[in-house]
Amino acid sequence: MNWLLRLYPARWRERYGEEFAAVLASQRASVGLVLDVFAGAIDAHLHPQIQQSRAEQISSKSTQGEDTMTLAMLTRCASGGPKLSPSERRIAFRLSILSALVIAALYMVLTKIYRQAPAVQAVYWTSIFFPNFIYQQTVYLKKRLWLTQAIVLGAGLSGMYLFMLTVCELGSKL
């Protein structure tokens, strides 16, 4: 009877296949059972969104512009968007917190030494995006080579800092 499982979408089989097969094996074969599985398979094909988790649904709605940007950010920050294992979520969360603390400490030290120089101000404005950049390393770049991660993060952060530095320099001359 396990051949009936092939009627279901791959994603559905991946999620429920094994336990479904266990329940299927426990039932006596009958026309009613086959019809029930057929109907279930049609439903699974017609409603693929049902196989998404709640977080994935929120995430996909956000990308369609149906939700606010804040909700999208919250979903991403809660590691609800990309597929992450529990340990990856913990690492992403800790990295975000740690990077925020590190950049805050760096800003305080720089302020103490250089006061309100434009370069220090640029660190302040870049720091707003810093935890998010670091977070990407464990989320969107997790399967990339470390060199790729370093280049993407380095280029992103450097670009952001240079932009902020330009803005701060211009602002100080006005």
Neighbours of 137 (CB within 10 A): 19
Q: Footprint of another protein on residues 80-109 (CB under 8 A)?
A: none
Residue whose CB is less far from another protein, 38 or 163: 38
16 binds another protein (CB under 8 A): yes
* Interface with another protein, residue 21, by CB under 8 A: yes
How many Å separate Cα 114 from the centre of its chain?
37
Residue 2 in contact with another protein, rule: CB under 8 A: no
Instruction: Give the span between the Cα atoms of 160 and 33, in whole angstroms.
Output: 60
Nearer to another protein, 17 or 156 (CB): 17
CB 149 within 8 Å of CB 137? yes
> Per CB under 8 A, does 62 bind another protein?
no
Distance CA(68)–CA(12), nearest Å, equals 29
Other CB atoms within 10 A of residue 139 CB:
22
Q: Does 14 bind another protein (CB under 8 A)?
A: no
**Residue among 6, 45, 50, 162 that touches another protein (CB under 8 A):** 50
65 — alpha (psi -120 to 50), left (phi > 0) or beta?
left
Binding residues for another protein, rule: CB under 8 A, are 12, 15-16, 18-24, 26-27, 32-33, 36-41, 43-44, 49-54, 57
